Amino acid sequence: MFAALSLAAAADSPLPRVELKAGPHRFDVEVATTPPQRAQGLMGRTHLADGTGMLFVFEEPNRHCFWMKDTALPLSVAFLADDGTVVGIADMQPQTTDLHCAKAPVRYALEVRQGGFGSRGIAPGGRLTGGPLATPRASHYQE
């Protein structure tokens, strides 16, 4: 039931969606490319189905940071290099202002349900493909 509610909420989202892959694993994610979309992120969501999430696309690589104020779900964030290599992963607790920052400049961050990377064997050094991660000049991604 919760998965159906989460998928219905995601289907109502005006954000574009892409499929990202890590080996045999797939993630159906919304893509946040503008500052307002990235600021909203997954705030206000009460459910997030396994295998779904949000990809944050930034204009420039930087040591981008995330926090969980006004976010009710425990999430994991993977910081991704331009080629989709996982630079780092952090688990984030709901309703906190603790900063979780990339250890190196990155252009992408992927948020999923907490534990969603570890349960699939995805760790730093691994690689995701698809969406903007599939093209050499990913900074030009727009939908």
Tens digits of per-residue pLDDT, 26-39?
A: 999 999 999 999 99
- Per-residue pLDDT at 6 exceeds 50: no
How much is the pLDDT for 67? 93
Instruction: Tell me: pLDDT of 142 over 70.
Output: no
Q: For residue 135, what pLDDT is reported?
A: 56
Mean pLDDT within 120-128: 97
Kindly state the tokens that stand for 48.
Answer: 């997030």
Q: Are 124 and 86 in contact (CB under 8 A)?
A: yes
| Number of residues assigned to the chain | 143
Q: Is 25 exposed, middle or buried (0-12, 13-18, 19+ CB in 10 A)?
A: middle
* Percent of the residues in the chain that have a pLDDT greater than 70, as a whole number: 85
Q: Say if residues 111 and 100 touch (Cβ distance below 8 Å).
A: no
pLDDT tens digits, 53-82: 999 999 999 999 999 999 999 999 999 999
Q: What is the pTM for the complete model shown?
A: 0.85
More confident residue, 139 or 104: 104
What percent of the chain is predicted at pLDDT more than 90?
A: 82
pLDDT at 98: 95
Q: 94 near 88, Cβ under 8 Å?
A: no
Q: Print the SS3 string covering 44-55.
A: CCCCCCCCEEEE
pLDDT band at 14 (very low <50, low <70, confident <90, very high): confident
Distance (Å, rounded) from C-alpha 23 to C-alpha 92?
Answer: 24
Q: What value does the mean pLDDT of the chain take? A: 88
What are the C-alpha distances in Å from 125 to residues 80, 81, 83?
10, 10, 11
